[in-house]
Amino acid sequence: MNNNSKKSIITASLLIIFGIVSRFLLVNQPNVSGLETLALFGGSYFLLKRFAFIIPIAAYMVSDFIINNTIYSAYHADGVVFYQNYMLWTIGSLLLIVVLGKFIMKKVNLKSTVLGILGATTVFWLVSNFGSFLGMATYPKSISGLLACYTAAIPFYAYSLLGNAAFGVILFGGYEWMKSKSPQYALETSNI
């Protein structure tokens, strides 16, 4: 295994761990995690786009498995939870955020990062709450029901935006700082 391959595996592993850990830092704050920012980061930086899609999904699936089977196990009387229908909407939103990162953040700078974070937050909010609207009996299946769902979800947008901004500073800012201090670790030179 050459150095670039080792660096790619280490980088991918560290990013997955970042995504998992971010879900546990503020687990009681709804929609605050680094997963959306991680998807945006992948779309922005990874040369091999398959990693941009795989890393946030892997982090999401592993962390959701742990959360559902430990913290929220009382809500799942059927035993071990591997998959639930709502997960499809979250995965879909993360995949769209990777694509968003690829197109909005061709050049990573403060403006594109702020726009990317706003876009990622909005995509996640729209897609995941549309999934809630379709999957929950709470809302009538009508335009007024959809609007009621989105209205009820406005506070979650604020949580998500604050979380993405904080994790954006950590991930994008941390990476740019590290790259300036140790250019040999720049992702552009790796196989990720």
**115-170 tens-digit pLDDT:** 999 999 999 999 999 999 998 889 999 999 999 999 999 999 999 999 999 889 98
Q: Which domains does the chain have, with CATH numbers?
A: 3-189 (1.10.1760)
- Asked whether the predicted pLDDT for residue 1 surpasses 60, the reply is no
- Asked whether the predicted pLDDT for residue 189 surpasses 70, the reply is no
**47-106 tens-digit pLDDT:** 767 888 988 898 888 888 887 777 666 666 677 766 667 788 989 999 999 999 988 888
For residue 79, what is the DSSP state? S
As to burial, measured by CB atoms within 10 angstroms (0-12 exposed, 13-18 middle, 19+ buried), residue 191 is middle
C-alpha closest to that of 163 among 5, 27, 4: 27
